[in-house]
Amino acid sequence: MNSVLKDPVGDDARFNLDAAFRDSHVADVIEKLEAELVGLAPVKTRIRDICSLLLVDTLRRQAGLSTEAPSLHMSFTGNPGTGKTTVALRMAEILHHLGYVRKGHMVAVTRDDLVGQYIGHTAPKTREVLKRAMGGVLFIDEAYYLYRPENERDYGQEAIEILLQEMENHRDDLVVILAGYEDRMDRFFRSNPGMSSRIAHHIAFPDYSSEELMAIAQLMLEQMQYMLSPDARSTLREYIERRQKQPHFANARSVRNALDRARLRQASRLFAKRTASLAKRDLMTIEAEDIRASRVFAEPAPVETQREGELQT
Mean pLDDT of 125-131: 96
Q: What are the two backbone dihedrals, phi and then psi, of residue 82, each rounded to the nearest 5 degrees?
A: -100, 10
167 in the same domain as 24: yes
Q: What are the pLDDT digits (tens) for 75-121?
A: 999 999 999 999 999 999 999 999 899 999 999 999 999 998 888 89
Under DSSP, is residue 309 helix (H, G, I), strand (E, B) or coil?
Answer: coil
**Residue that wins the pLDDT comparison between 79 and 3:** 79
Mean pLDDT of 257-284: 95
d(CA 98, CA 236): 41
User: Which of 184, 208, 209 is CA-nearest to residue 75?
Assistant: 184
201 in the same domain as 179: yes
Length of the chain equals 313
128 in the same domain as 75: yes
Sort strands 201-205 and 67-68 into parallel, antiparallel or unpaired. Answer: unpaired
DSSP per-residue codes, 202-213: EEEEPPPPHHHH
141 in the same domain as 261: no
Query: How many domains does one find in the chain?
Result: 2
State the pLDDT confidence band at 18, using cuts at 50, 70 and 90.
confident
108 in the same domain as 138: yes
264 in the same domain as 290: yes
Among 205, 220, 243, the domain-final residue is: 205
Residue 313 in any domain: the answer is: no
Residue 201 in any domain: the answer is: yes
Mean pLDDT of the chain: 89
pLDDT for the residue numbered 10:
67
**Residue that wins the pLDDT comparison between 93 and 151:** 93
Q: What are the pLDDT digits (tens) for 160-178?
A: 999 999 999 998 899 999 9
273 in the same domain as 164: no
Mean pLDDT of 13-19: 80
Helix (H) or strand (E) holding 256: helix 252-272
pLDDT for the residue numbered 301:
62
**Residue that wins the pLDDT comparison between 99 and 73:** 73
171 in the same domain as 22: yes
145 in the same domain as 27: yes
User: Domain range spanning residue 252?
Assistant: 210-298
129 in the same domain as 166: yes
- Residue 286's CATH number: 1.10.8.60
pTM of the predicted model as reported, rounded to 2 decimal places: 0.85
Residue 310 in any domain: the answer is: no
pLDDT for the residue numbered 166:
95
Q: What are the pLDDT digits (tens) for 249-266?
A: 999 999 999 999 999 999
158 in the same domain as 44: yes
d(CA 23, CA 157): 42
Q: What are the pLDDT digits (tens) for 219-252?
A: 999 999 999 999 999 999 999 999 999 999 999 9
132 in the same domain as 57: yes
